[in-house]
A and B are shown apart, each in its own frame.
Chain A
């Protein structure tokens, strides 16, 4: 193999698994250390610059970082990264004086943002401090988009949402609420320098089942129903509720139903339990509230008698997988299952809809009626029109929308300054030794063996009787500290300097997870078979040195390195050093 180029910022970035997996690439270990140091406001600001909504995301994020966490490769559970973010948000001081100043004198460029969800708000936050004039249009009465309409208050209290939305709206942006934008042409006619479309995936999918027509009043689309609960148009539901679908919206629907009078609430899903789209913790939360999940049931018919909804019929199926892993649901041949219901909620997915975008504005649409959007610049085929969030490539999640927003803001800034949007700024990185003494490091290098701490919950009887009472209480500062100590500090990198190495094997002998080998070089596939320990995780790189005096190379498998620093402590010549690698995606603010 060729020697590893550690000057390439992506090499060490990839070692920080959580940060690499995060769409916004938030420097996770850095803020976790600050939480352990009780520097909550500092931890919050790192998050705020990177992901804009730390308090919201600390409660609702899809957490792509956690399955990536290195800890799941050496023990069972990842660090509770998401809930630690909440610890920072809950315990911070008033941070308003740390927010970027908004210039009184504007730069004269006007930007329209359609929709006031996470993507648009991110664009607003990234551009307002640069002096842009921002006009936001949204059809809801307040900002936040799906964070307000689709996420129930028992998961995300309004006060948390309002606080973080208002940090942005208070930046002197002109927000117009309760307005439906019906025509992109009308917006473009107002001579904006750029238009950003962040209108989400607003249309819930329904199932056209026999009996639907007669039961219209008691069959609802999940996201619309959640919105009408959030906006207090709906205050009750029948005692027996069937929720169709296996995603996070279905989980929010069933849990909300339990709080609005539903007593026998069931989730019915076509797929096997393991294949459900909902995050594992959201399924757990639903089951904790006494909601059974019926899997492998395909909805067949809505049963209406005497003009009244009686229930639904389901066909039982089994999942079969072919050699390519492709799933088919095969009926078991058993009798159809009848379940009684007073109300049915359909939460089987949502899709984009752009009826308000005229098709002669130079914004091209593809065969699925989705806008053609550049994946890096988020520019559409009309150079002034940008897309982001769910409206760009279909339903994702908040953190992805934020990441889109950052990149779109960079593009809009480049466009308005007359530069090419293709000229992306490189990431800002630093690499600095953490050595303080012979055995001392400026990070806590001991590896805590503790299993993951459980977030305490409010009592079930209280939360089920109050739709707005937050279920999770969050970690208290002491538990937050203990959880923070579980972080392996993967951003503190093992850096190897060949000329200093005397090949004494001290690092090989001490490494608790057998990451290091000195051996003859070879091609990667073959080299992986000759290392100190099995090196079968191809997603993790090998760090290979230049040729050493004994004609061997140092090979380090990054896979299960604990970043404990023992290799560097046992190194007599300082050939190994622990160096903190900070990687920040460049944005318009920093």
Chain B
């Protein structure tokens, strides 16, 4: 039985700007079911972080409870991690991000952890535009408790037990847009070519970045009647366009035809090239994004890709005008203004 992944790696693996191969970003071997979409998302996170040359110790990965929330063990083994209480990951990230703004915060959650028990936390972290990436591994069921329908299961969709879900679904992207999210994307675990650039873009975004990743549960919800199965999503996915992400400091080598692509310079200086396939969606317009989501919902198709991006996003630190350095780097001279300053303050109050 394999509890460990062999130590040998391909001898010619590419190294990134830090001199690391992808192996430096891997975690322990997964204990999820064979074929779980979540493992593909873990793989995409590993590749995105490697390709962005992020130092592993500059990332904090946080999660709640559920199959999805187990995954941080399976990627970024050398990064900081926090498995929080069910649905309470956003609070923990908020605290951590307030205390240390220098880390990249990667929240991983599931449809239960986000859309049921964590719905309140989800709403408020969006409202506050906390600078984090929020990945939902969305399989439409409670896999850890044997596959009951979750709040994101589409009405009429049926899992392994065969009963059609009688309730309407919460569309996390729609909810996020309504609550003021500044980066909203949807993807599919089986499409790394789309998912990896989206994760990279989300990591470069300043503010709250949601990626709702449909991730089939092979054990309980990969049936012919499910709308979250590999087959259904492959047949019904419609991409908003393709996204090409060029990290900061990298030379742009691809030639882009003028007019065919939107070029967006992200907060950290990297560049996002967005090729639109859709005439109806303007991903920089919130109303257009919401309309596109509803149109696809009505057609029974799944809109994937970058759905909305606020280029002028101001995150929680900007709004609250917090200190520019992490709290752990502020020493006595920063925190105590000194006797003279205190005298002045006192004098001004007399």
Contact = CB atoms under 8 A, between A and B. Distances in A.
Contacts of B9: 74, 512-514
Given A439-B1, A570-B35, A571-B34, A503 B6 contact: no
Tell me which of B6, B219, B222, B230 has the highest count of chain A C-beta atoms within 10 A of its own C-beta: B6
Interface in A506-521: 506, 508-510, 512-515
B227 to A, nearest CB: 16
A569 B230 contact: no
Contacts of B1: 437, 439-440
Contact of B11 (A74, A440, A572): A74
B13 interface: yes
A569 B2 CA distance: 8
Contacts of A440: 1
A173 interface: no
A446 B8 CA distance: 11
A191 B39 CA distance: 74
B35 A445 contact: no
A208 interface: no
A508 to B, nearest CB: 7
B246 to A, nearest CB: 21
Contacts of B10: 513-515, 533-534, 560
B143 interface: no
Given A446-B6, A514-B10, A564-B6, A504 B33 contact: no
A75 interface: yes
A536 interface: yes
B35 A506 contact: yes
A506 B8 contact: no
A510 B40 CA distance: 9
Contacts of B145: none
A565 B34 CA distance: 13
A533 B40 CA distance: 17
B35 A503 contact: no
B43 A512 contact: no
B42 interface: yes
A506 B6 contact: no
B30 interface: yes
B344 interface: no
Contact of B35 (A502, A560, A562): A502
Contact of B4 (A446, A505, A533, A534): A446
Contacts of A506: 34-36, 39-40
B192 interface: yes
B5 interface: yes
Contacts of A572: 33-35, 218-219
B8 A449 contact: yes
A447 interface: yes
Interface string B235-257: 00000000000000000000000
Interface in B192-244: 192, 216, 218-219, 222, 230-231, 234
A509 B42 contact: yes
Nearest to B22: A514
Interface string B25-57: 000011001111101101100000000000000
Contacts of B43: 505, 508-509
A74 B10 CA distance: 7
Interface in B175-199: 189-190, 192
A562 B12 contact: no
Contacts of B6: 446-447, 449, 512-513, 562, 564, 566
A504 B216 contact: yes
B8 A533 contact: no
A503 B191 CA distance: 10
Given A505-B40, A505-B43, A533 B2 contact: no
A438 to B, nearest CB: 8
Interface in A402-457: 437, 439-440, 445-447, 449
Interface residues of B, number: 33
A513 B11 CA distance: 8
Contacts of B33: 572
A509 B189 CA distance: 11
A73 interface: yes
Contacts of A505: 40, 43, 189-190, 192
B340 interface: no
Majority secondary structure of chain B interface residues (helix, strand, loop or mixed): loop
A504 B34 CA distance: 10
Nearest to A574: B34
B12 A536 contact: yes
A550 interface: yes
Nearest to A572: B35
A250 B251 CA distance: 58
A253 B133 CA distance: 71
A571 B34 CA distance: 6
Nearest to B13: A533
Contacts, number: 100
A439 B264 CA distance: 47
B7 interface: yes
A512 B8 CA distance: 7
A573 interface: yes
Contacts of B37: 504
B124 to A, nearest CB: 33
Contacts of B30: 510, 570
A421 to B, nearest CB: 45
B35 A514 contact: no
A569 B34 contact: yes
B249 to A, nearest CB: 24
A567 B11 CA distance: 19
B189 to A, nearest CB: 8
B153 to A, nearest CB: 20
Interface string B88-110: 00000000000000000000000
Contacts of A550: 234
Contacts of A573: 35
A512 B222 CA distance: 26
B230 A502 contact: yes
Interface string A537-581: 000000000000010000000001010111001111100000000
A215 to B, nearest CB: 52
A513 B12 CA distance: 10
Interface in A308-345: none
B22 to A, nearest CB: 8
B5 A503 contact: no
Given A503-B190, A505-B192, A510-B39, A570 B4 contact: no
Contacts of A73: 11
B164 to A, nearest CB: 22
Contact of B230 (A504, A514, A515): A504
B159 to A, nearest CB: 15
Given A505-B40, A505-B192, A570 B34 contact: yes
A570 B37 CA distance: 11
Contacts of B7: 447, 449, 512
B38 to A, nearest CB: 10
A17 to B, nearest CB: 15
Contacts of A445: 2
A566 B2 contact: yes
A286 B34 CA distance: 53
Interface of B: 1-2, 4-13, 29-30, 33-37, 39-40, 42-43, 189-190, 192, 216, 218-219, 222, 230-231, 234
Interface of A: 73-75, 437, 439-440, 445-447, 449, 502-506, 508-510, 512-515, 533-534, 536, 550, 560, 562, 564-566, 569-573
6 contacts: A446-B2, A504-B218, A513-B8, A560-B10, A566-B6, A570-B35
Q: Which 8 A-B pairs have the closest CB atoms?
A: A572-B35, A447-B6, A509-B43, A439-B1, A534-B12, A74-B8, A533-B10, A572-B218
